[in-house]
């Protein structure tokens, strides 16, 4: 049963926050269409032809009626031939022109939508990691799917129907004025009322449809989170609680949809009442004029058809105005995404990183996430080219943040990070990221073959380079797969074990022969046997490369050239494995806690 908020009132919707400028969003949508001038121009030409042909039809029918009534004695019908042929020609022209306008403007709409989607995807993949950590994935998906679909509805059909109704209205009005201006004036009396009603409902509808789109995004975000954490929810027996939480958000979505339906359902009947009243007025005046011989029967019949065409066009324009508000609400949310400025981007004078040796320097580095306290407090650290550095410390010490800054997934809020003496912000992202290979704790594999997933690390890698990377990573299991390197992998590599996915992640990281390798807890989620295989492969992988390794298992960092200990965002110790144990400091305490010494 619907709750008390189900019957959303127009008044409550009207009080909601004012949306962005309708003109700004509309003009921006139209720019995508007008970028394809040829099909748009062709479509408009066919619209003019179609509207003119349809508008001429009632006048031709009226002419035929008057001619027929003038020949009631069975005289010659030659006078009927010419108007009849013109009527047939106008009908055929209208039919063909309508077909062509649907084809040309529909093509322009799809070309425009292609451009919108391309811009949105390009923006999404270029946004910094911090953005994705600050938004709900479900809401983002709702913008990419539901809101884009609203734009699609406008570009593919709504724009054409708006133009068609507008041209039809204009052509009909011209013919009405030519045929009988007095009846035309009577018809126009109700137009200001209809425009006022349209404007009022349009303002309310925009808010209602925007609220609906936001509610859909909230539901999508909840679904994405619940599906992602379904194992945890079942393990802790929280499915009932999650069901209740989803029901609450779903109720908000229901009420928002009902609110939008309230607007739509009230709009069309109001316009229908006004247009019916106007048609009755035209019929009464026309009948009165015909009875007194002021106008002919054919003109009255023509004008009744014109009144129907006129108000149909006005009603369709008004209803499309309401539908357009839904597209504008979707466009507003999509353009908010497109206009989002990435906090990590190429500077105008950025240059490519060339001949990278791998020397990394953190100079007075500080960092704060978008919300929360400062994570790193003045880090000073120099890593020589080819040196293997292990970064250890308790949870929350800032280890992952430090290596994310090294790969420029974030920019420091204070100080700078240098690569071979050059500030990372002065280098292009493409060239910088191409110099790094990264292996995360949770390896992510894409749908495709084994070879395609390895080649993701270097799209230009040859088959031999792919095989060599797999060999260095110790991924011998590939040869046991049904189709070897061409074996298909399901989404996220679900058909492989955790260890196998991690080995492929290692191969992917080194296939491009990066100068710097970053390992973020790369062996923490694998068993001891797999870890030994990875450690064996690492000796070959790390040779000649700069490496930053985060590890909780301290046994995995024995061979590091240097170990850096972080606590509360500060470096408290650094040295070799043996020297740090002998110092009986922070590292020794971590070692004793882990091994029970």
Residues 417 and 479 in one domain: no
Q: What angle do CA 498, 225, 114 make, to 5 degrees?
A: 95
- Listed in sequence order, the DSSP H helices in 446-487 are 450-455, 463-473
Mean pLDDT of 561-577: 91
For 389, phi and psi rounded to 5 degrees?
-115, 130
Examine the fold and report which residue of 513, 533, 554 is the final residue of a domain before the chain moves on: 513
Mean pLDDT of 143-165: 83
Q: What is the CATH number of the domain that holds 589?
A: 3.40.50.300
Contact of 493 with 465, CB cutoff 8 Å: no
Pairing of strands 488-489, 360-368: unpaired
Work out the pLDDT band at 3, boundaries 50, 70, 90: very low
3-state secondary structure of 362: strand
Mean pLDDT of 25-30: 85
As beta bridge partners, residue 427 has: 351
Rounded Cα distance, 471 and 484, in Å: 13
Contact of 412 with 434, CB cutoff 8 Å: no
Rounded Cα distance, 149 and 162, in Å: 18
Rg (CA), the chain: 35
At residue 202, does pLDDT exceed 70?
no
Count of structural domains within the chain: 3
Contact of 35 with 115, CB cutoff 8 Å: yes
Q: Answer whether residue 334 is part of any domain.
A: yes
**If you ran DSSP here, which 8-state letter would residue 549 be given?**
E
Rounded Cα distance, 206 and 210, in Å: 6
List the one residue out of 114, 140, 110, 138 whose CA is nearest residue 340: 140
Residues 173 and 267 in one domain: yes
Residues 329 and 427 in one domain: no
Distance of CA 84 to the CA centre of its chain: 53
Rounded Cα distance, 342 and 334, in Å: 16
Q: Answer whether residue 16 is part of any domain.
A: no
At residue 231, does pLDDT exceed 60?
no
Mean pLDDT of 524-548: 75
3-state secondary structure of 3: coil
Place of tokens 């792919």: 466
Residues 281 and 385 in one domain: no
Residues 186 and 269 in one domain: yes
At residue 455, does pLDDT exceed 80?
yes
At residue 335, does pLDDT exceed 60?
yes
Examine the fold and report which residue of 310, 338, 366 is the final residue of a domain before the chain moves on: 338
At residue 99, does pLDDT exceed 70?
yes
Rounded Cα distance, 53 and 45, in Å: 12
Q: Answer whether residue 576 is part of any domain.
A: yes
Residues 327 and 455 in one domain: no
Contact of 474 with 503, CB cutoff 8 Å: yes
Pairing of strands 360-368, 414-419: antiparallel
Q: Answer whether residue 4 is part of any domain.
A: no
Q: Mean pLDDT lowest for which of 4-8, 106-110, 125-129, 527-531?
A: 4-8
Rounded Cα distance, 127 and 447, in Å: 23
As beta bridge partners, residue 449 has: 488
Q: What is the CATH number of the domain that holds 138?
A: 1.20.1560.10
Place of tokens 């073959």: 449
pLDDT over 90 percentage in the chain: 14
Contact of 590 with 394, CB cutoff 8 Å: yes
At 351-363, the pLDDT tens digits run 988 888 989 999 9
List the one residue out of 194, 173, 211, 213 whose CA is nearest residue 319: 194
For residue 592, the model assigns a pLDDT of 83
Q: How far apart are the first and last CA of the chain?
A: 64
Q: Answer whether residue 305 is part of any domain.
A: yes
For residue 2, the model assigns a pLDDT of 39
Rounded Cα distance, 60 and 57, in Å: 5
For residue 266, the model assigns a pLDDT of 63
At 413-427, the pLDDT tens digits run 999 999 999 999 999
Surface-to-core class of residue 40, CB atoms within 10 Å of its CB (0-12 exposed, 13-18 middle, 19+ buried): buried
Contact of 424 with 417, CB cutoff 8 Å: yes
**If you ran DSSP here, which 8-state letter would residue 340 be given?**
P
Mean pLDDT of 397-407: 90
At residue 369, does pLDDT exceed 90?
no
Q: Tell me the helix, strand and coil percentages in the chain, rounded to 5.
A: 65, 10, 25
Residues 319 and 370 in one domain: no
Q: Report yes or no on whether pTM surpasses 0.85.
A: no
Rounded Cα distance, 109 and 335, in Å: 17
For residue 488, the model assigns a pLDDT of 87
List the one residue out of 15, 141, 39 whose CA is nearest residue 100: 39
CA dihedral 350, 518, 504, 527 (to 10 degrees): -160
3-state secondary structure of 392: strand
Q: Give, for 535, the enclosing helix (H) or strand (E).
A: helix 528-541
Residues 453 and 588 in one domain: no
Rounded Cα distance, 160 and 168, in Å: 12
Work out the pLDDT band at 11, boundaries 50, 70, 90: very low
CA dihedral 401, 353, 419, 384 (to 10 degrees): 120
Residues 150 and 31 in one domain: yes
Residues 472 and 369 in one domain: no
Residues 168 and 84 in one domain: yes
Place of tokens 């420029």: 408
Residues 185 and 255 in one domain: yes
Rounded Cα distance, 270 and 47, in Å: 28
At residue 366, does pLDDT exceed 80?
yes
3-state secondary structure of 189: coil
Rounded Cα distance, 192 and 346, in Å: 53
Domain holding 274, by residue range, is 21-71+78-338
Examine the fold and report which residue of 455, 488, 513 is the final residue of a domain before the chain moves on: 513
3-state secondary structure 51-114: HHHHHHHHHHHHHHHHHHHHCCCCCCCHHHHHHHHHHHHHHHHHHHHHHHHHHHHHHHHHHHHH
Q: Answer whether residue 536 is part of any domain.
A: no
Residue with the larger pLDDT of the pair 115 and 205: 115
Q: Answer whether residue 13 is part of any domain.
A: no
């Amino acid at each position: 049963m619907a709750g008390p908020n189900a019957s959303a009132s127009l008044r409550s919707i009207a009080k909601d926050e004012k949306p962005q400028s309708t003109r700004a969003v509309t003009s921006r949508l139209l720019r995508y269409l007008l970028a394809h001038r040829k099909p748009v121009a062709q479509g408009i030409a066919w619209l003019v032809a179609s509207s003119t042909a349809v508008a001429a039809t009632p006048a031709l029918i009226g002419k035929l009626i008057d001619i027929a009534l003038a020949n009631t004695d069975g005289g010659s019908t030659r006078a009927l031939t010419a108007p009849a042929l013109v009527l047939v020609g106008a009908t055929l022209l209208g039919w063909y022109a309508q077909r062509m306008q649907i084809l040309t403007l529909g093509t322009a709409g799809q070309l425009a939508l292609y451009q919108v989607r391309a811009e949105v995807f390009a923006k999404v993949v270029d946004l910094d990691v911090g953005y994705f950590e600050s938004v709900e994935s479900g809401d983002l998906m709702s913008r990419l799917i539901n809101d884009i679909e609203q734009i699609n509805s406008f570009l593919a059909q709504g724009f054409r129907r708006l133009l068609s109704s507008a041209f039809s209205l204009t052509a009909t009005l011209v013919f009405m004025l030519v045929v009988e201006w007095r009846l035309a004036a009577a018809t126009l009396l109700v137009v200001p009322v209809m425009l006022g009603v349209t404007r009022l409902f349009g303002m309310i509808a925009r808010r209602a449809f925007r609220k609906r789109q936001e509610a859909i995004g909230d539901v999508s975000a909840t679904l994405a989170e619940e599906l992602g954490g379904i194992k945890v929810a079942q393990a802790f027996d929280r499915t009932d609680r999650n069901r209740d939480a989803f029901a609450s958000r779903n109720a908000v979505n229901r009420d928002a949809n009902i609110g939008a339906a309230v607007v739509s359902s009230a709009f069309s009947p109001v316009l229908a009442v006004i247009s019916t009243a106007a048609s009755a007025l035209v019929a009464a005046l026309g009948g009165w004029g015909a009875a007194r011989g002021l106008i002919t029967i054919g003109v009255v019949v023509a004008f009744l058809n014109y009144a129907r065409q006129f108000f149909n066009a006005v009603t369709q324009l008004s209803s499309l105005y309401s539908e357009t508000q839904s597209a504008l609400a979707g466009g507003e949310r999509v353009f908010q995404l497109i206009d989002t400025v990435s906090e990590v981007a190429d500077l105008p004078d950025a240059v490519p990183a060339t001949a990278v040796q791998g020397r990394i320097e953190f100079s007075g580095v500080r960092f704060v996430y978008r919300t929360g306290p400062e994570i790193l407090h003045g880090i000073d650290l120099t890593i020589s080219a080819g040196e293997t550095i292990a970064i250890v410390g308790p949870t929350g010490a800032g280890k992952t943040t430090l290596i994310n800054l090294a790969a420029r997934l974030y920019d420091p809020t204070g100080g700078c990070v240098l690569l071979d003496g050059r500030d990372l912000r002065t280098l292009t992202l493409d060239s910088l990221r191409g110099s790094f290979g990264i292996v995360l704790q949770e390896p992510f594999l894409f749908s495709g073959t084994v070879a395609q997933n390895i080649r993701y690390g270097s799209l230009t890698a040859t088959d031999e380079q792919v095989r060599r990377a797999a060999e260095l990573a110790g991924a011998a299991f590939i040869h046991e797969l049904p189709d070897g390197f061409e074996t298909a992998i399901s989404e996220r590599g679900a058909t492989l074990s955790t260890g196998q996915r991690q080995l492929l992640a290692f191969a992917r990281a080194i296939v491009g022969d990066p100068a710097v390798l970053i390992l973020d807890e790369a062996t923490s989620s694998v068993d001891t046997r797999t870890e030994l295989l990875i450690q064996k492969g690492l000796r070959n992988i790390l040779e000649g490369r700069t490496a930053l390794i985060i590890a909780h298992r301290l046994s995995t960092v024995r061979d590091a050239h240097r170990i850096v200990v972080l606590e509360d965002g500060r470096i408290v110790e650094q040295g070799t494995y043996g020297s740090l144990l002998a110092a009986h400091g922070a590292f020794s305490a971590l070692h004793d806690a882990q091994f029970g010494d």
